[in-house]
Structure 1
Amino acid sequence: MDRSAEFRRWKAQCLSKADLSRKGSVDEDVVELVQLLNGREQFFTTSSCAGRIILLDRGINGSEVQKQNCCWLLVTHKPCVKDDVIVVLKKANGDAILKFEPLVLHVQCRQLQDAQILAVRSTHGLEVPLTHKGKLMVTEEYINFLIKIANQKMEENKKRIERFYNCLQHALEKEPISMTSYPKEKIKEKNNSSYTHKKKRNPEKACGKYITEENNKELENDDHDDPGISVTIFPEDY
């Protein structure tokens, strides 16, 4: 069986399906990143989120946050304000949780060596309970403090997306990769079908580390007990 042909068929099928996310389109801040990956023969994205601030009500019987079964009180991919949070908190009947979730990107890779380029770990989240059984457990001053932190994390998240794009692009340019004929127009946006970054990128400057053939050889010769492969293509302070 030609596994490359099988992967291409799988990719074509997945990318031709309708976007079933709540928003129904790719988030603006990751459109170029999704296009970059889907334009390469050995990758395709299955889901993505540029980062968001959410307020969830998990009800009065929930012991842990289950996003599929809880009430979404607030979802935004932009900075939010205290008044918006206070208003929707009045609708909470159970345990409301304020969360910031950073970039999430799920990618199918043709081979293990392709996946190595994308193996990145980062922690940049926030999760704080605000109510219990519908009763507000914190002050409005503290809520305002949390929102400032969440908004700061949102801004930092955008910088990391930019850095990730630059470093990934630089790493891919060092590999002999052929382009697919999958058109960028297939990636839907809610308000802008031809979004491009206004900033001029400088991959050489943006990347503190990037994948090279020597890096890959070192990984192949690594005898650590951990079977997973984690390769960072970010600067040390990422």
Structure 2
Amino acid sequence: MGRRPPAMAAFARLKAQRLALPDLSRKRALDARAAELVRLLNARERFCTTSSCDGRVTVTDTAGTGSQKKNCTWLLMTALEKATGDAVFKFEPFVLHVLCRELQDAQLLHSVAIDSGFRNSGITVGRGGKITMAVRSTHCLEVPLSHKGRLMVSEEYIEFLVHVANQKMEENIRRIDRFHKGLELALEAADPADSVFPQEPEKSRSVYVHRRKRRTAQEQAGPSRELGAQDDTDSSLDLFAEVMI
């Protein structure tokens, strides 16, 4: 027989310890959409989030040190000429890691994630019995821009990459919204009583619905960025700069 998942009390202690840890990210704060999902999951006794990211567009200069994030310098587009190593343009989609009390809990999250478009999601079981569900997708982009400080592509091509990354970000946001809506329904159907703070999921849901309605109204008021043909270069560069700052 396989190793059994941690007992309820042990999982509760582990969750309390994890949630008490400091935020070690560069931003030192949760991303807006990830925060809504984190609150929704952590309000349930069966789940404990460990890391998350809404998705991001970056240009980094590794200065010949490889791909380790701790050795990267983050660049804005206007500072690309300052790169001294290998500058790389990246779009990284939404990611979320969740500790689950039981395998069936991880399977529930996995099913919702796959249905929402996060088809690279998976479940791992550690030697100590820790069950982790990772929400991921293959909706990525990584392109080298310079080598040893020498720019290898044209400005026009960089603008094209920004446009493509913006489209990927829009699709990424739609997938997050689908995942959030599907997760709310799945959790409620699976066990309505499984909640540490009964009012928190409902509060989070109210905020989410309000924001979703507001975004829907904005989409109806004007053309979607997904159309691309009506998306000018200046708009793309502005969004890129907003993401990078």
TM-score (norm 1): 0.69
Change (3 A) 1:106 1:183: farther
CA RMSD of aligned residues (A): 2.3
Aligned to 1:106: 97
* Amino acid of the structure 2 residue aligned with 1:159: R
* Amino acid of the structure 2 residue aligned with 1:198: R
Aligned to 2:87: 96
Compare the two structures and name the one with the higher helix fraction: 2
Q: Distance in 2 between matches of 1:96 and 1:182?
A: 47
- Give the counterpart of 1:38 among 36, 42, 58: 42
Question: SS at the partner of 2:12?
Answer: helix
Q: What is the Cα deviation at residue 118 of structure 1? A: 2.1
Q: Distance in 2 between matches of 1:124 and 1:139?
A: 24
Tell me whether 165-174 or 100-109 shows the greater mean CA deviation.
165-174
* Amino acid of the structure 1 residue aligned with 2:180: Y
Aligned to 1:20: 24
Aligned to 1:54: 58
Aligned to 1:220: none
Aligned to 1:181: 197
Are the equivalent residues in 2 in contact too, given 1:95–1:130 (CA < 8 A)?
yes
Aligned to 1:164: 179
Q: Distance in 2 between matches of 1:124 and 1:2?
A: 33
Are the equivalent residues in 1 in contact too, given 2:6–2:101 (CA < 8 A)?
no
Question: SS at the partner of 2:59?
Answer: strand
Unaligned runs of at least 5 residues, structure 2: 114-119, 121-136, 201-205, 215-245
Q: Distance in 2 between matches of 1:102 and 1:2?
A: 31
- Number of matched residues? 179
Unaligned runs of at least 5 residues, structure 1: 75-84, 185-193, 202-238
Are the equivalent residues in 2 in contact too, given 1:59–1:93 (CA < 8 A)?
yes
* Amino acid of the structure 1 residue aligned with 2:146: T
Are the equivalent residues in 1 in contact too, given 2:15–2:48 (CA < 8 A)?
yes
Q: Distance in 2 between matches of 1:66 and 1:101?
A: 15
* Amino acid of the structure 1 residue aligned with 2:196: T
Write out per-residue CA displacement over residues 22-41 of structure 1, whole angstroms, 9 at most, x where no aligned residue: 11111012221111111111
Q: Distance in 2 between matches of 1:200 and 1:173?
A: 21
Q: What is the Cα deviation at residue 182 of structure 1? A: 9.1
* Amino acid of the structure 2 residue aligned with 1:12: A
Aligned to 1:227: none
Change (3 A) 1:22 1:182: farther
Are the equivalent residues in 2 in contact too, given 1:38–1:182 (CA < 8 A)?
no
Change (3 A) 1:105 1:97: same
Change (3 A) 1:108 1:3: same
Write out per-residue CA displacement over residues 180-235 of structure 1, whole angstroms, 9 at most, x where no aligned residue: 13996xxxxxxxxx96442249xxxxxxxxxxxxxxxxxxxxxxxxxxxxxxxxxx
After TM superposition, where is structure 1 displaced by more than 4 Å over at least 4 residues in a row? Answer: 194-197
Q: Distance in 2 between matches of 1:150 and 1:117?
A: 30
Are the equivalent residues in 2 in contact too, given 1:28–1:195 (CA < 8 A)?
no
Change (3 A) 1:30 1:3: same
* Amino acid of the structure 1 residue aligned with 2:194: S
Identity rate, percent: 55
TM-score (norm 2): 0.68
Q: Distance in 1 between matches of 2:27 and 2:91?
A: 17
Are the equivalent residues in 2 in contact too, given 1:44–1:108 (CA < 8 A)?
yes
* 1:123 pairs with 2:138: yes
Change (3 A) 1:15 1:182: farther
* Amino acid of the structure 1 residue aligned with 2:21: K
Write out per-residue CA displacement over residues 129-184 of structure 1, whole angstroms, 9 at most, x where no aligned residue: 00000000000000000000011111111111000111111111221251013996
